[in-house]
Structure formats: C-alpha cells, structure tokens
Amino acid sequence: MSEDSGQIDHVFHERRKFAPPAEFTKRSVVSSQDQYAELCQRATENRDEFWKAEAEEHLHWFEPFDSVCEFNAPDVKWFDGGKTNASYNCLDKHVEEGRGNRTAIIWEGEPGDTRSLTYAELRKEVAKCAEAMLELGVGAGDVVSIYMPMTPELAIAMLGCARIGAVHSVIFAGFSAESIADRNNDAKAKLVITSDGLHRRGKVLPLKETVDEALAKSPTVEKCLVLRRIGNSDTPMTEGRDHWWHDVVDKQQGELHAAPMDSEAPLFILYTSGSTGKPKGILHTTAGYNLWAKRTFQWVFDHREDDIYWCTADCGWITGHSYIVYGPLSAGATCLIYEGAPNFPAENRFWELVEKYRVTILYTAPTAIRAFIKWGDEHVEKHDLSSLRLLGSVGEGINPETWIWYHEKIGGSKCPIVDTWWQTETGGIMMSPLPGITATKPGSCTFPLPGVVPKIVDELGGDVDDQHGGMLCIAQPWPGMLRGIWGDHQRFVQQYWTTVPGMYLTGDNARRDRDGYYWIMGRIDDVINVSGHRLSTIEVESTLVSHDCVCEAAVVGRPHELKGQAISAFVTIKDAEPTEELRQELKQYVRKQIGALAQPDDIRFAESLPKTRSGKIMRRLLRDVASGREVAGDTSTLEDLSVLAKLADEEA
Ligand code: WTA
C-alpha cells in the first residue's frame, strides 16, 4: 500500500462533515436513521422475507417465484421459478399503470439535435427493434453485441434484447476492432448493432469501418444492424449481412409483447478488465439485477416524480446499464441523455444542458469534475444551476478538494453529494450516503445500502482492525450480484471466491473510521483506474509484448491530475533503436489493439526491468520511477533500471 499511502492518509484525516439539508430530509425516500436501520436489519436478519416483499412490490411477475434466495457460494439463485421481463418492468409497467405519457428520455446530440420519448413511445420503439431482431434470426439466449453512440437507439437496442430474452453485450464505442472481435468471439455473438458513425468533439468517427474490420474476425456473427446517425453516404454495407435500421426497424408494428423470462435468464454480459489476461464477460441475470438497479436508484437518488435526472456515463459501462437504463426507467424517471463531449462546442456544455433542461439530479465522475476545475469556474458561473438538488459521483474515489468544489460550485453548497461505491460485478450501488439522512465526509462512500454486508479482512481472510484497513469483501449475497464470468466458471471461482472462501472478494482495499464510515483505498490487484475506467496492466503489457520490437514490458499506473491514473510503460526492445518514432508506434499499436483508453501516456525504454530474485517485476519501484518525474523528449536513451533494482534489493 505504500505507493498510495500519501493520498490515503490525506483522505483519512479529512474531518469535515456535511449534514443533510433539513428541507431534504423531510421529503426523502429514506428519511430517518431509524428507517435506515430497520431496512438494514430486515434485509440481513430476515433476508428472504425482506426481498420477497421488495420483489413482489417492485417487479411485474408473469409467474410468481418459488424461492427467494438459494445461496451455495459462489452460486446463487434469486427468485427462482418466477418469470418477469426487464423491458416490461422498464416500460409496459408504466404504460399499464397510466404513466405512458410521462417523458422517459430527453436526448440531445452533440451537434444540438434533440429528441424526446414518452414511456409509451419508447415501448413502441423497443418493440419494433425487438421485432426486427426476431426477423434477423435472433432469439432468446442469443448474444447481441452493441457498439453505438449514445443515441436513444442504444437504450432501445438494449431493451429490445431484453424484450425477447436476447443477451446484450454493449461494447464502448471507443474500443478497437480487435477488442470488438475478441468480445464477439468470446460471447459467440450472433448479431452486431452499430451505426454509420458518431459525433465526438465536432468530428465524425466512422464506426462501421471498425465494425467491418472486427466482423472479418468474428465468425459467429451472422447479421449487422446499422443505424444512420451521421448520414455518411459511403458507409460500406455487405449484401445479405448488413441491414439499415431504417429499413428493418421502422417498418415493424411495435406491438410485440415482452417475453416472460426466467428470473435467472441472462440479461446481459459486460466485459471488464480483471487482474489478468483478457477482459472477462461479467454476467448479470434478469430479476435480481433489475430489482437491485431499481431499488438502489430510488434509495440513493431519492427519486421524485418531478425530477429531471442526468447520468453522464456512457452505456458502454456498467453505470450506463444500471443508472441510465434499468434503474431509472424501472422507477419511471425522466432521464436526460447527452451524446457528446463535455467541452464541445465549449467547456460550458454540461452547465448549458443543466440550465436548459432544469436538471435536478446530476450523476457524474471525478475525472470529469477534475477537468471542469481545470477549465475554470467561469464556464460554470455563466449558468443558472439552481434546479439541481442532488449530486452523485462514481467510478473512483473523489478526493476531498474535488468534492468541495463540486459541492460549492455546482451544488451551490446546498446539494448533498452521494459518493457511490460499486463495481460492474455488483450490478448496482453497494455503499453510498442516503441523501436525506447521511452526514457526508468528503472522500468517503459512507455506509452500506440495505442488504449489503461489507467485511474487511486480511490476506488470510481473518478479521482486521477496521481502522487499519484490509481487503473489502461482501459477506452476504445481494440480488444484483454477478452470476459468473461468461464461459469461464473456473476463473469466476478463482477471482472472487477463493482468497476468502464463502465471501465475495471485491478487489478493493477499504478502511472504516471510528464513526463507521467506509473509505475505499484503491485496488489490491493490478487493475488501474484511468478516467474512472478499469484497465488491467497485464492486458496492456501483453499487447506491448505482441509487438515485434518488444521483448518485455511492465505497465504501472501513476497519479494523473485529470485522469486519476495515467499509464506508464517500461519496455525492453530487440532489433530496434529506442527512438521517438518507435515510442509513437508502440503507443499507436496499443491504441489500435485495445482502444484509445489503453494508450500509454508514457513509454520508457529500459536496458532491463528491475526484478526480485524470484523473477517478479518490481512494480512498486517502477511506480516510483513513473510518478517521480515527467517524461521529457530526451528519454530515447535506454534507462538502466537494474541500478535502482540493486539499491532496492539492498534496502530490503
Ligand atoms: C472503483 C464502476 C472509490 C473501485 C461503477 C471499484 C470507486 C472499481 C468508486 C469498479 C467510489 C468505483 N470510490 N472507488 N465511489 N466507484 N470505484 O467495474 O476500485 O468500472 O472496484 O464499476 O472502480 O469499476 P467498474
């Protein structure tokens, strides 16, 4: 932990505390400590009874379930025997209950085009998309890869899959052709849904070309459905395989009913980086996930009828799944979706949107907040942000100074901040303040939600002094928990359930202070967090080593003002000179293989990599080197890191 301890100590000495505004408490969904304590007690002590009532009240059941929770670690079944449908819960339920005219989605594209859909309209579009998928030969259990810009059609495609029981696998539209092909092949995807392109910072990126490159290596994919987003007339279309959305979706009736699905039927796969090798497909199933997304949304965001809720995430990540699509729509919320960059055409775009649509709840990431701070307060001050009543943060720890800026400049010192800790694997928020009752401490995700039982343990699974900190585990099953890694049960068991038997290992370190507040202290493993996105250092290393000129590579994270962590690579080379050209070539190579997110910020050439006597790369040492000084243009010489290694060895 030593490499991070400076920041942690800093965070841990944070003494400021912010009480929930009284006005807020009066009306909130969870409005007293007693109510919270009672929810937690019932959810843990009478788990089945509690979740039975929750599921019956909050989901629609075509057929009732027989049991609530069957847990035989690591396997779990929630609401077994029941039949429901996530698209029904998000759409039909509202239409049936007379809320069809409520606005579901308000959308704005980067160029300024807009669209708005009521729940009834959204249901129709989703049904049409589902009908088109059936026509293209997709059925229940088939996997559909979705590689699209943040248009309403992205949410429509996800819900369209859910409607017929197809399993979606959304791939963030910044990933490379290689990454798409890997995911298509791992999941055995049958259909890919994409668009002719996307708008990003005023430029147009041609997505379909990238998909074509991926499809050349994706033998299981039979069809490709293409949305016209940018009107690119020379989009390549392969006869028989590729179909325009406006040809096959628009002509449908839009009357298809939602298929009753087993509670444990797969709803989606989402690929995320683990500590080793290739990204893994995290599997979530229907009923438990849906319930968890809905209830955590209602508890944490204190949702009210008149809210305009905006989550700035992309549906390519879990935050977009749970808090743009399944959570808010199940709760009947009105959601703003914005397609583009926060600084296009200017650095005030987000605040312009908040003012224009009178956004009341804003959920964003620390990396974005740090960028706003850097861009300057003047972009914020131009706008009337008085509609905001609640702010959220997700993706990485928020450092106290960033928290304070968010609180004062965006929230006008009146909005509570919910710092939500969770993971792709957990399906939804696990720890967070509840805005009506929790006094917040900047940098702490505060307390667990009802039904979440965190436990901090040492490497052997033994109890530790909470204040000292240790590995964060979850000791009881919760409805939104992952059900597995797609096609790799062994890895699922190994990764999450072996280190501490019987408990879910989160991969994060945490500490609990004297008041019982939780503080997340970063990862235990070799996962780094770049702009709130998980990347495995080993994935980047393997890619570098696959380049002809690279013998060995070590990748570490170093602190970065905006991104949280930047990627530093150390490589030893063969048959090549350590030139600036080679450095650029390697950066582009990683970008092409994995995607722009994974491109190393700096690459150092080394004579050899520092290793322990047992041959393990001394990452801690490399982290020190990486964070110690900026890479200047003159580092094309080879660094002799073995000297450092020797010094470190002597110290040890
Ligand atoms: C980190 C994103 C501190 C953590 C929802 C976790 C956080 C990983 C927070 C999951 C937070 C996420 N405070 N750390 N509020 N939120 N993290 O799967 O290390 O993309 O394990 O899910 O992000 O990232 P993932």
Rounded-to-integer distance, Cα 85 and Cα 140, Å: 12
Range of 539's domain? Answer: 527-649
Nearest alpha carbon to residue 207 among 247, 246, 240, 236: 236
Q: Is residue 522 part of a domain?
A: no
CATH value at residue 577: 3.30.300.30
Rounded-to-integer distance, Cα 425 and Cα 300, Å: 19
Q: Is residue 364 part of a domain?
A: yes
Ligand 1 atom nearest the C-alpha of 507 is 21
pLDDT in tens, 82-111: 999 999 999 999 999 999 999 999 999 999
pLDDT at 652: 38
- Tell which of 474, 507, 540 closes a domain: 507
- Residue 630 Cα to ligand 1 middle (Å): 27
State ipTM. 0.99
- Residue 520 Cα to ligand 1 middle (Å): 9
pLDDT band per the 50, 70, 90 thresholds, residue 284: very high
Whether 493 and 620 share a structural domain:
no
Whether 189 and 94 share a structural domain:
yes
Rounded-to-integer distance, Cα 599 and Cα 540, Å: 8
Closest residue by Cα to atom 12, ligand 1, is 395
Ligand 1 atom nearest the C-alpha of 317 is 20
pLDDT at 280: 94
pLDDT in tens, 462-509: 888 877 889 999 999 999 999 999 999 999 999 999 999 999 999 999
Rounded-to-integer distance, Cα 604 and Cα 583, Å: 8
Look at phi and psi of residue 364 and say left if phi exceeds 0, alpha if psi is from -120 to 50, else beta.
beta
Q: Is residue 516 part of a domain?
A: no
Whether 464 and 556 share a structural domain:
no
In the predicted structure, residue 384 carries a pLDDT above the cut 50: yes
Q: What percent of the chain has pLDDT over 90?
A: 79
pLDDT in tens, 443-468: 999 999 999 999 999 988 888 887 78
DSSP string covering 135-182: HTT--TT-EEEEE--SSHHHHHHHHHHHHHT-EEEE--TTB-HHHHHH
pLDDT at 635: 42
pLDDT in tens, 141-163: 999 999 999 999 999 999 999 99
Number of domains in the chain: 2
Whether 484 and 539 share a structural domain:
no
Whether 237 and 292 share a structural domain:
yes
Nearest alpha carbon to residue 516 among 425, 398, 433, 436: 433
Q: Which residues line ligand 1 (CB under 6 A)?
A: 272, 317-319, 394-397, 419-424, 445, 506-508, 520, 523, 529, 534
Whether 283 and 390 share a structural domain:
yes
pLDDT at 539: 84
Rounded-to-integer distance, Cα 311 and Cα 422, Å: 15
Identify whether the C-beta of residue 467 lies closer than 8 Å to the C-beta of residue 511: yes
- Residue 383 Cα to ligand 1 middle (Å): 30
Lowest mean pLDDT among 188-192, 223-227, 584-588, 637-641: 637-641
pLDDT at 277: 64
Measured CA distances, 220 to 154, 185, 267, 372 (Å): 22, 7, 20, 43
Whether 44 and 76 share a structural domain:
yes
Strand partners, 417: 391
Whether 579 and 476 share a structural domain:
no
Closest residue by Cα to atom 6, ligand 1, is 423
pLDDT in tens, 395-415: 988 988 899 999 999 999 999
Whether 423 and 455 share a structural domain:
yes
Q: Taking residues 360-373, what's their average pLDDT? A: 94
pLDDT band per the 50, 70, 90 thresholds, residue 512: very high
Strand partners, 283: 269, 484
Closest residue by Cα to atom 7, ligand 1, is 396
Q: Is residue 519 part of a domain?
A: no
Q: Taking residues 73-85, what's their average pLDDT? A: 97
Angle at 27 between CA 26 and CA 30, to 5 degrees: 95
Q: Is residue 610 part of a domain?
A: yes
DSSP state of 233: T
- Residue 204 Cα to ligand 1 middle (Å): 31
pLDDT band per the 50, 70, 90 thresholds, residue 3: very low
Whether 360 and 425 share a structural domain:
yes
Ligand 1 atom nearest the C-alpha of 393 is 15
- Residue 321 Cα to ligand 1 middle (Å): 15
In the predicted structure, residue 521 carries a pLDDT above the cut 90: no
Query: Which residues make Cβ contacts (< 8 Å) with residue 565, sequence separation at least 6?
Result: 528, 529, 530, 557, 558, 559
pLDDT in tens, 610-640: 876 666 677 778 888 888 744 333 444 556 6
- Annotated binding site, which residues? 200-203, 319, 343, 395-397, 419-424, 508, 523, 531, 534, 545, 547, 550, 591
pLDDT at 389: 97
Rounded-to-integer distance, Cα 292 and Cα 59, Å: 11
Q: What percent of the chain has pLDDT over 70?
A: 93
Average model confidence (pLDDT) across the chain: 92
Q: Is residue 14 part of a domain?
A: no
Strand partners, 448: 431
In the predicted structure, residue 203 carries a pLDDT above the cut 50: yes
Q: Is residue 613 part of a domain?
A: yes
- Annotated binding site for CoA, which residues? 200-203, 319, 343, 531, 591
| pTM for the model | 0.91
pLDDT at 390: 98
- Annotated binding site for ATP, which residues? 395-397, 419-424, 508, 523, 534
- Residue 102 Cα to ligand 1 middle (Å): 32
For a ligand 1 pocket test, name from 11, 418, 508 the mutation site with the most ligand atoms within 8 angstroms of its C-beta.
508
- Residue 529 Cα to ligand 1 middle (Å): 8
Q: Taking residues 557-572, what's their average pLDDT? A: 92
- Tell which of 507, 541, 576 closes a domain: 507
- Residue 504 Cα to ligand 1 middle (Å): 15
Ligand 1 atom nearest the C-alpha of 421 is 15
Identify whether the C-beta of residue 501 lies closer than 8 Å to the C-beta of residue 455: no
pLDDT in tens, 31-48: 999 999 999 999 999 999
Lowest mean pLDDT among 121-125, 420-424, 511-515: 511-515
Q: Using the CB atoms, write b or e for 487-501: b if 16+ within 10 Å.
A: eeeebbeebbbebbe
pLDDT at 620: 78
Q: Is residue 517 part of a domain?
A: no
- Residue 429 Cα to ligand 1 middle (Å): 10
pLDDT at 335: 98
Closest residue by Cα to atom 22, ligand 1, is 423
Q: Taking residues 351-358, what's their average pLDDT? A: 98
In the predicted structure, residue 650 carries a pLDDT above the cut 80: no
Ligand 1 atom nearest the C-alpha of 319 is 5
Whether 118 and 210 share a structural domain:
yes
- Residue 395 Cα to ligand 1 middle (Å): 4
Ligand 1 atom nearest the C-alpha of 424 is 18
Ligand 1 atom nearest the C-alpha of 506 is 21
Whether 501 and 418 share a structural domain:
yes
pLDDT at 294: 98
pLDDT at 13: 64
Residues 482, 485, 487, 491, CA torsion sign:
negative
Closest residue by Cα to atom 13, ligand 1, is 397
CATH value at residue 488: 3.40.50.12780
